[in-house]
Structure 1
């Protein structure tokens, strides 16, 4: 389940933290790697913020928390963490500031070590939550580190945290991390040798993605959906359609909240109703979000960016990295229509967008708008995401069933809607500007959305 760190329920215990340690010697010149489109945009925004003494706008830290039960072997846990870092090349990257930007370098597995720090006892849930929040705030794409880990150890159990800067991981990296760590920890505790094979490297994926996208030209057929989206009045990035009370040009602190929209049985009922009417739970959520926003005073067409997972089913399927591309959605919200009609409109808006997944949003913007990655970082962005954690890579391991994911940002001017499903039901994690109007608007939106989803289920 994806929840804010402030909502985490972590039992007290003795805290330990780990940070990656590399040799003091400078990285080999051949270790430099080109940044992916996502990484380049992230670093550009972060560098701009550092230079102006602002918190990095829209920069995210992503963490996962899970439980180990039985007496904890700290050496085995440390070994599992080191195995994870050596297995996934992107976790061995470090950033170095240059005169104009930041360069990315990768270290070898042999150069990579961990430093353990005894952080002492945490005697209350307030203290454990504060500790997790502190870990989230440690990572930084410009100054580093890009990853930290921690454990709160008790007699017979431990809560393990792994925190990534978004530069090296996405939300789907969380269940992969949990499954990898739990599996290798079990192997080490029982004297088994973990699988030494490296995972498919995100850095290789980034190179392949750039090669494909650099060959694109503005007139190419592959950009047809992007051209249509922008020609029909779509902005890039699309703005959240309701008033959040944000001041133009001002960077607002963010607030992160999770609500359960439907329990498991009602989620199953909604999915059945959507399938019976020719759709799916995803198209049902798209149609419901579009209809709800219109009823709250929004437009007749809901426009948003939607993240698409680019791992595929083979080489990168169990790899950690930022394998996400954002595609533009335009979902009509008719004032009166049957469920089947709404789902058909949602599907017609989603399918062409999904087929654009290999055209990166940054490259599309470069070709069609000639804009740089940081020109609109203060816009109140509209963002729609849906994940089914029951079927994500890594979900087969029992430790992922009760694991939690945390996304943290120091600032946000829009509203990011992360819908997710797990074994307990359908949930909405939202990150939005921390203004009184934004809180009121998102509360009203969530309440009306529940009513809309229930009406779809009837």
Structure 2
């Protein structure tokens, strides 16, 4: 399943309709919800308010995640509406809102069946670029975490087919939410067309998870195991990559340009299996192999200690496996390559770091910042997901669904995503555009060398 910046995606022209959630009476009709807000959500919300004060810009911060699901059949508008309302009723995170109240946060929630959908016909588009820009702009404006709803749906219909779009602020969804959602939305639509119950298992609420996670994290102090892991990580060197990824700081008063992106199929399924088998034989794993190879290439570009942050899902209980929400913690990864190790030794060190990182990810970043002053905004992140076990994964990987992300304007962030899909191993990345330094060329050289070394190791080299 591809994970594309929306401006890089391929959307076929057609008739655009936006489906906008609404609640009669507004938030004044909702009940005050005593359940706690996750640290992730609070940190994200406060950052959004800081951004608005600094830029005086309304709308989202281009911090949304989304989905495009293809249907090879004539659109059935009542079925679309029925499916979307059933999905909103299924996932409580789409029926709750958190707002700042001075130093505190306040949550408001509404019951299933109280949210309506307003259909807005935008028009027919013949030019795909204009269509993409319209959808992207609408999603940018609609997905601010400061207002409800921080999400929106759209459909693009044409003769014999249509595409269903969804976008939500990051506080409501994560990567696994999207790969689960593509199957859920398809099943809910077919169930609505056939007037039958959807064949979906029950799912838990991210709001419940947030409350329990908050309570546990707030009870932690500086004796928590995660604190020791982070102190060790922050005491190391090379906390930003030195191989020319980041451009020189901007000198003008204007905002930085939109980040560039890169996507490719690194290895097909057979080669990915070969790489996994080799890593397993050495006591490692696929993600361990990816990080070890990155560390080796990093050393070739002058680095002594490869360090990055890695998102780890927190869906540890089965009730949350299919829930929408931001079930993510950040794990600190550090691999010493100062003595020019071979792949086997780099993999061994990486697996030790991954094991330690599990403890590091057991507290949210905002709570760690309160305890030991960790900077709250990660700058260099490497992510890994394996989507093969999700229903509909084969069809999605063949193009039936695409995960989307907003464009980003940061001039000091590099994100790399590895996705293990039924078709193999995909790489997606975003990074600063231009600048006075090597910037894009430095990252391109690094990624090319990484791909070649990875393929060589997978082939037994």
TM-score (norm 1): 0.90
- Match of residue 165, structure 2, among 161, 175, 197: 161
| Separation in 1, partners of 2:62, 2:339 | 37
Q: Aligned-pair distance for 1:151? A: 1.0
- Three-state SS of the structure 1 residue aligned to 2:249 is coil
* Per-residue Cα deviation, 1:1-37 (whole angstroms, up to 9, x for no partner): 1122122122211111111101234144523653211
Is 1:454 the equivalent of 2:452?
no
Q: Residue 43 and residue 290 in structure 1: after superposition, are their counterparts in 2 closer, same or farther (change >3 A)? A: same
| Separation in 2, partners of 1:312, 1:278 | 24
Q: Corresponding residue for 2:15?
A: 14
| Separation in 2, partners of 1:313, 1:34 | 19
Tell me if the contact between 1:90 and 1:202 (Cα under 8 Å) persists in the aligned partners: yes
Q: Corresponding residue for 2:294?
A: 289
| Separation in 1, partners of 2:129, 2:60 | 27
Tell me if the contact between 1:245 and 1:438 (Cα under 8 Å) persists in the aligned partners: yes
Q: Corresponding residue for 2:278?
A: 273
Q: Corresponding residue for 1:389?
A: 387
Q: Corresponding residue for 1:52?
A: 54
| Separation in 1, partners of 2:200, 2:176 | 22
| Separation in 2, partners of 1:455, 1:171 | 29
Q: Residue 133 and residue 222 in structure 1: after superposition, are their counterparts in 2 closer, same or farther (change >3 A)? A: closer
Is 1:200 the equivalent of 2:204?
yes
- Match of residue 125, structure 1, among 114, 118, 128: 128
Tell me if the contact between 1:327 and 1:361 (Cα under 8 Å) persists in the aligned partners: no
Q: Residue 57 and residue 228 in structure 1: after superposition, are their counterparts in 2 closer, same or farther (change >3 A)? A: farther
Q: Corresponding residue for 2:319?
A: 315
* Per-residue Cα deviation, 1:199-253 (whole angstroms, up to 9, x for no partner): 311111111111111111112345331232223458xxx5344441141798634
- Three-state SS of the structure 1 residue aligned to 2:319 is coil
| Separation in 1, partners of 2:272, 2:201 | 39
Tell me if the contact between 2:293 and 2:343 (Cα under 8 Å) persists in the aligned partners: no
Gaps of 5+ in 2: none
| Separation in 2, partners of 1:91, 1:180 | 15
Q: Residue 364 and residue 98 in structure 1: after superposition, are their counterparts in 2 closer, same or farther (change >3 A)? A: closer
| Separation in 2, partners of 1:114, 1:57 | 21
| Separation in 1, partners of 2:447, 2:237 | 27
| Separation in 2, partners of 1:453, 1:354 | 25
Q: Corresponding residue for 2:268?
A: 263
* Per-residue Cα deviation, 1:369-414 (whole angstroms, up to 9, x for no partner): 2x674xxx4x7x11110112223x4445845653111122432222
- Three-state SS of the structure 2 residue aligned to 1:406 is strand
| Separation in 2, partners of 1:219, 1:88 | 36
Q: Aligned-pair distance for 1:453? A: 0.6
Tell me if the contact between 1:306 and 1:385 (Cα under 8 Å) persists in the aligned partners: yes
- Match of residue 41, structure 1, among 40, 43, 56: 43
Q: Corresponding residue for 2:430?
A: 431
- Three-state SS of the structure 1 residue aligned to 2:3 is coil
Q: Corresponding residue for 1:410?
A: 408
How many residue pairs end up in the alignment? Answer: 447
Instruction: Report the aligned-residue RMSD.
Output: 2.6
